[in-house]
A and B are shown apart, each in its own frame.
Chain A
Amino acid sequence: MTTATLRAGATAPGAAVPRRPRRGSPIPTVILVVGAAYCLSPLVWVVMASTKSPQELFSTFTLAPGTGFLSNLEKLFTMQNGVFLSWIGNTMVYSLGGSVLCVLVSALAGYALAKFRFPGRDTMFRILLGGVLIPGIALAIPQYFVMAGLGLTNTYWAVLLPMVISPFSIFLCRVYATSSLSSDLLEAARIDGAGEFSIFRRIALPIMVPGLVTVFLLHFIGTWNNFLLPYLMLSNERLYPLTLGLFTLLSTGDGKELLYTTAIVGAFVSLIPLVALMLFLQRFWKLDLISGGLKG
């Protein structure tokens, strides 16, 4: 019916001439192209700069290609007995490990908060929600003292464990469990005699997968980008994630062009997996989960 009225409206020569947006001006597209160009320009720069030899970095035009790409790569991967490879491995441990554990913990908690009624549920949820608003970074220094108290500073655990708890992820999992899991289905499983954990694992978890992918991605990018926590917790360069390693290169490179070019080519290399991940996984994002969360 709507389409019928629509067509009638579009063809009828009414008093008010209906605008035909489909043949609209190119200005909106032009603005978006400019926006995309602005967003991509530093990436163009880093691609170009990573091809420059240390001598070329400050002497040739910024966006002109250089001749040192392969030797830059070689320096990057051989520097300090291949510490760059450790940084890549560490980043994977922190981001991948932290995110997988976080999704598990959050899915369990979100499911419980969404699908059970039990004393203390609302209080717990409110306290968790308060946790969303607490700036993680203001927590980092006190977290350092707690970790130092536990004797865990300068270990993988110091960076990994604080990342596993994410009130925001729990909140999203609860929103998604509420909207996607039918209570009748869970009841039916209970009547069939299934245990609570096997209901969660065999029924709830598979249904929650699309939401969990989103939670995973958001958290993965968050942990990958985290800087202050590893900066505080770690002093052993072998344990650094990429962000911290590159920062150290840059800050010790003051005036030394060799370290600048190594840091730049390192930035370029570390962006490749992120960009690939982003392009590949974009279609699996269900960000309406986030906008929908506020109404609930």
Chain B
Amino acid sequence: MRATSASPPVPDHGRIRTPRHRVPAPIAPYLFLLPAIVLFLLFLVAPIGYAVVLSLFGQRVPAGSGGYGAREQTFVGLDNYVTSLTDPEFVASVGRLGLYAVIVIPCTLGIALLFALLLDLPGIRGARIWRTGILLPYAIPGVIAAMMWGFLYLPSTSPVNAVLTGVGLPAVEPLASGSVIAALANISVWGSLGFNMVIMFTALRAVPAEVYEAARIDGCSEFDIAVRIKIPLIAPSLVLTSLFALIGTLQAYAEPTALRPLTDTISSTFFPLMKVNTDAFTNDNINGAAATAVIIAGFTLAASAILLRVTRDRSDAS
């Protein structure tokens, strides 16, 4: 907005040092942006547009053809959305995802914050090694992570069970229906802990050491410093990691899909995106799948916007 209104007396963010008469060739920035814009239109805007269009149509056998006519695309308005939102399978998948998110997001962020604060303590030995060890799972694809954890969960290959049964205790079955969501949550926490920790740790390192020294001289314990100084100071990176965690959780797909071969407690419609995929390719209901995908995308966008708004209001108020 600001760039388009050419009102010379208004200083622009104090960047008055760039004199107006040296405005570069006006076409250059558009050329630089061209590849990004073309790809953005082709692979983000067009698919979204196409999904919205698909979601408004349905495959109907024309009336009066006695059921023998070829199915054709007809405009059905919001029917697909109503069907999606009232589909018990979809509602159940949202419920499971909600439960999963309630476990994954606080655990990932909480443990990552704890580790980041511990790493930032003075006098931690081998900090770099522990940090690398905790970060490593971030580089491991979800499919492979799910495979490894899946075998660790299987009663016949679980080292925990080998120990438990060895001392006469009953074996545990993480993949049983009562605990499968927690088992999935563990894989997600395991995989994303390190990345969140490193972002928080980097933010902590950006704070000048003098701030802490002053607090220490005033007699603050390391715990007080962490709670009263460090956490508020790195609030922006906490917002960012929450946002990533939220978006990542709503997209949960690879891990439950990869675990399915090892257990029958994960259905093909276990999480919303799995339901979309099953509808589109197994049930041949592309229009319904498109409506569900649009609902998920819209929800993600809304949730991210709300999270950003809420945290911005809070930081403005303080």
A binds B: yes
Give chain A's interface residues, CB within 8 Å of chain B: 2, 5-6, 9, 16, 18-19, 21-24, 28-29, 31-33, 35-43, 45-46, 49, 57-58, 61-63, 104-106, 108-109, 111-113, 116-124, 127-128, 130-131, 133-139, 141-143, 145-146, 161-162, 164-165, 167, 170, 183-184, 187, 190-191, 196-197, 200, 221, 224-225, 227-228, 231-232, 242-244, 246-247, 250-251, 253-254, 263-264, 267, 270-271, 274-275, 277-279, 282, 285, 287-288, 290-295
Of B37-45, B81-89, B95-103, the stretch lying at the interface with chain A is B37-45
Residue of B nearest to A126 (CB): B1
Would A118 and B26 count as touching, CB distance under 8 A?
Answer: yes
Q: Which of B281-303 contact A (CB under 8 A)?
A: 281, 286, 289-290, 293, 296-297, 300-301
* Interface residues on chain B, number (Cβ under 8 Å): 116
30 CB contacts below 8 A, A to B, read: A9-B217, A21-B122, A21-B216, A21-B222, A29-B130, A39-B193, A43-B148, A46-B148, A57-B157, A61-B162, A63-B159, A112-B28, A116-B32, A122-B4, A127-B40, A128-B40, A136-B251, A141-B277, A165-B36, A165-B42, A183-B17, A191-B22, A227-B143, A228-B277, A232-B281, A243-B143, A243-B144, A274-B140, A278-B132, A287-B199
Would A6 and B217 count as touching, CB distance under 8 A?
Answer: yes
Would B39 and A161 count as touching, CB distance under 8 A?
Answer: yes
Q: Which of B1-50 contact A (CB under 8 A)?
A: 1-4, 15, 17-18, 22-26, 28-33, 35-37, 39-40, 42-44, 46-48, 50
Bound Cα distance from A99 to B30, whole angstroms: 22
Contact partners of B105 in chain A: CB under 8 A: none
Bound Cα distance from A282 to B136, whole angstroms: 10
- Cβ contact of B202, chosen from A40, A183, A271, A291, cutoff 8 A: A291
Q: Tell whether A62 pairs with B157 under 8 Å between CB atoms, given A32-B119, A164-B39.
A: yes
Q: Tell whether A138 pairs with B273 under 8 Å between CB atoms, given A118-B26, A133-B304, A146-B47.
A: yes
Bound Cα distance from A13 to B275, whole angstroms: 67
Residue of B nearest to A130 (CB): B301
Contact partners of B171 in chain A: CB under 8 A: none
Q: Tell whether A165 pairs with B39 under 8 Å between CB atoms, given A21-B121, A22-B123.
A: yes
Give chain B's interface residues, CB within 8 Å of chain A: 1-4, 15, 17-18, 22-26, 28-33, 35-37, 39-40, 42-44, 46-48, 50-51, 54, 111, 114-115, 118-119, 121-127, 129-130, 132-145, 147-149, 151-152, 156-159, 162, 190, 193-194, 198-199, 202-203, 205-206, 210, 213, 216-217, 219, 221-222, 234, 236-237, 239-240, 247, 250-251, 253-254, 257-258, 260-262, 273, 276-277, 280-281, 286, 289-290, 293, 296-297, 300-301, 304-305
Bound Cα distance from A221 to B39, whole angstroms: 21
Bound Cα distance from A142 to B253, whole angstroms: 16
Q: Tell whether A135 pairs with B296 under 8 Å between CB atoms, given A43-B136, A279-B132.
A: yes
Min distance, Cβ B174 to any Cβ of chain A, angstroms: 13
Most buried by B among A43, A141, A271: A141
Bound Cα distance from A39 to B115, whole angstroms: 12
SS of A interface (majority): helix
Contact partners of B217 in chain A: CB under 8 A: 5-6, 9, 18
Contact partners of B296 in chain A: CB under 8 A: 135, 138
Most buried by B among A253, A264, A267, A295: A267
Bound Cα distance from A251 to B258, whole angstroms: 8
Q: A2-B213, A109-B33, A294-B240 are in contact. List 16 more A-B contacts (CB 8 A).
A: A19-B222, A29-B126, A35-B133, A38-B190, A42-B145, A45-B151, A128-B36, A134-B44, A138-B296, A187-B22, A225-B141, A228-B253, A231-B257, A243-B254, A278-B139, A291-B237
Min distance, Cβ B201 to any Cβ of chain A, angstroms: 9
Would A61 and B273 count as touching, CB distance under 8 A?
Answer: no
Would B157 and A58 count as touching, CB distance under 8 A?
Answer: yes
Residue of A nearest to B289 (CB): A141
**Which 9 A-B pairs have CB atoms at the shortest separation, nearest pair first?**
A36-B133, A142-B47, A165-B39, A196-B28, A112-B32, A109-B36, A116-B29, A142-B51, A42-B148
SS of B interface (majority): helix
Would A138 and B119 count as touching, CB distance under 8 A?
Answer: no
Min distance, Cβ A89 to any Cβ of chain B, angstroms: 17
Bound Cα distance from A9 to B15, whole angstroms: 43
Would B136 and A39 count as touching, CB distance under 8 A?
Answer: yes
- Cβ contact of A24, chosen from B121, B193, B205, cutoff 8 A: B121
Contact partners of A134 in chain B: CB under 8 A: 44, 48, 297, 300-301
Q: Tell whether A40 pairs with B136 under 8 Å between CB atoms, given A45-B148, A227-B141, A287-B198.
A: yes
Would B297 and A141 count as touching, CB distance under 8 A?
Answer: no
